[in-house]
Chains A and B, each alone.
Chain A
């Protein structure tokens, strides 16, 4: 069974540039999560979906961050006009169902904003 895949693995931007991260969850998992993990901190939940519906995006900085999962499978997290404070690893995870608390994580995308 393939795990959660993410791309790209690394990204380097200048402030003000935009970037998109892509995630392919485990097949059959209806719930998908995006986390932000700054250096030397634990992952912090940004947004999560059940199928194509956003369940909670209250921690997503909505003015510059957006996330979609249009067909309930793959998902894209986008940062418009990146800031140095966005430097972090962005993790995608999936779980079988919404109330299944075992989450399976992808390798992450390491973002550096100069």
Chain B
């Protein structure tokens, strides 16, 4: 089946430092799945951060970027300079061939120190 592996947390960084959360995937249902990053801020529900549907393309949102690399089957999330408000749990996910089943990674808790 499909699977997603991502950086185990918690990841602690200081404000203004850079952040990278690694994500690799294995998709058996589709060669080039749509890829997502979801985020859950404290006290809030899971929400879409960004998605990329074309291999080789980059998605960006709220200062975060992720590039769809089909050669390495990776979709790492990066931010050059984090803020305390980026403290959250980040989930990498892929969609199956029909686009209606999401497979999530375990989530990476990020703590940003002021």
Contacts and interface: CB of A to CB of B under 8 A. Distances in A.
Nearest to A102: B48
A interface secondary structure, majority = loop
Contact of B93 (A40, A42, A107, A108): A42
A100 interface: yes
Interface in B33-48: 34, 36, 38, 44-48
A43 B46 CA distance: 10
Given A98-B100, A99-B98, A105 B46 contact: yes
A91 interface: yes
Interface residues of A, number: 26
B99 A101 contact: yes
B100 A95 contact: yes
Nearest to B94: A101
Interface residues of B, number: 22
A101 B95 contact: yes
Contacts of A98: 98, 100
Nearest to B92: A42
Interface string B82-95: 00000000010101
Nearest to B102: A103
Contacts of B46: 43, 91, 93, 105, 108
A90 interface: no
A20 interface: no
A45 B102 contact: yes
Interface in A78-111: 91, 93, 95, 98-108
